[in-house]
Structure formats: structure tokens, C-alpha cells
Structure 1
């Protein structure tokens, strides 16, 4: 893999990470389209670490409040609640990853699966939007979210382990299907 391929993959990762279009899926599709050799999971991990570093730097104040809120409810009750919601919502994906992670990486990391998966989830995302638009009442306050809402969103997020499934897209859709407001 030469530097131009690495730069292209870095640009793709940077452009797609924050959109609900599966940056990981695009890191599989683009090499296939341009006939590059598969960069492998190690390069994908490095690209994602770069994104994580940018997120940590940009959101350092909020992340600090979340960490402090995790252990101190009195500091800011909303950050305390949000921190625990994030932890609980992570369990379903963690369990699925432990059980099926190797199979997913070995069997489903191919351009055909990714392309079909991107198409499939686009329809699911549209369905979530339509469902949300049809609701008369929506939950817009974090204090009204129950553990059931949080775990439902966490279960939805577990699908993001499948290549071509956008983590942000499936999380947003899970929230919409759980009657959360978009705002």
C-alpha cells in the first residue's frame, strides 16, 4: 500500500465518519472500486484511532464532564445520567462483539456484503424517519429516558458491528424507533 492510497483512505475516513453512511463500509468499498489491495483491519484501526483522537480533542470538555458525572451525581445530574446511559447502551454491542466478532470480521468483510448492507440500512433509516414523523408525542428530555429505551438503542447499535452499517445512523434510528425526539 503506497502513501497515496493511505491518504485517500484517510480522507474517506474523515469525510464519512460523522455522517450516517458507515465509514468502515466505505473503507472496504473504496479499495475494491479502485482495485487497491485490502488495507486490512490494522489500517482501519489506525484510521479510526485518528478520528477518535480528533473527537477526544474537540469534545474534551464534555468528555471530562461525563467522566466526572459518572462518579459524582451532584456535580451535574444530566451528565451523571448520560454517562450511565452510554455505559448501559454499550453492553449489547459488547456482548454481540464477543460472541460473533471474529465471524463478522472473517466472513462479512467484503465489498458485496457491504454494498447490500448499505442499501438495506438506508431503507431502515427511512422507516425510522417515517415512524418518528407519525408520532404525536416524543421524548425530548434525557430524564424521561428509561433503561428500556437505552437498552433498545444499545441493541440497535449492535447491528453496527456488521460492515456497512452506520453506527450513528443505526443509533439515531434506534432512538427514533424508541420514540425519542430528533432534537
Structure 2
């Protein structure tokens, strides 16, 4: 049993080196690695699942829908329900959720966004899903404009919403 584990560990290490080498040669590597929570392996996984055709997703919404992070609104008569998408790419959603979990520790803006959602009474899973959705949109914007992630720019709109309307009245 130990021999099998050692052999598998060696194969995993070899594959990890190959993935890092291949991912490092891709033209979008810098953009993916600039995203909070994405390293060499997880970044390569997200790139592989999303694909590298720049014209595949016409909008951030299309990329979010493919990833399964955007909410699905079901309306019938007087009743409206918002749910998580059932049809999605499981491997991509798993990788993006892992990114969101890591981002909570790596990005103060993402942490503030998550904490705001939790303070509003949103559950952990729903808040994490909303953060994941936001991160997919940020990645789409970075890929579209060919610019690396910038913490200040990414969360500026959210931070502006948190500032008091009249700072002198307090």
C-alpha cells in the first residue's frame, strides 16, 4: 500500500510540474494569476474549464451563466423565487468556489463584500455564491480589457456604497 501511495505521489508531482509549465506559457497567465485566490494549479484549472477563446463569452453574464454562479430567477404570477443554477459546469464551479474561499483571506475588498452580505442575513453558502459570481465578473472584465486584477478598482463601487451619504453628520 505504501508503495502505491509513493508512486501516486510521484506521478502527482510530475503532473503538477507539467501543468505549471504549460500554464506559464499561456498569454493570459498573468491575468489569471493576478486574481485573488488563484494560483498556478487552480488558475490553470479555471482557464481550462473556461477555455481561451476570447470571443466565446459575449458578456460577463454569459461567462457567469456558463460557470453556474449567476442566480436563476423563477417568476410565476405573484411568486418570485431566486435559486442557484442547476445546470452548470461542476468542475468549473468547484474551482471558482475554492477561489472564493481563498479570496476571503487574500482580499480585503472581497472579505468586506462577504461580511456585508452576511450582516444582511444572507447565509454562508449564498454569500459565497454571490462572491463567486462577482469574482467571475471581475475575471471577465480583466480578460476583456487585458489588464491584471487591481484590488482598489475591483471593489471601488462596493466601497463607495459603504461610505455614509453625509460624512459630516455623525
State the TM-score, normalized to the length of structure 1: 0.23
Q: RCO higher in 1 or 2 (8 Å CA, sep ≥ 6)?
A: 1
Higher helix share: 1
More strand by share: 2
Q: Rg: which structure is higher?
A: 2
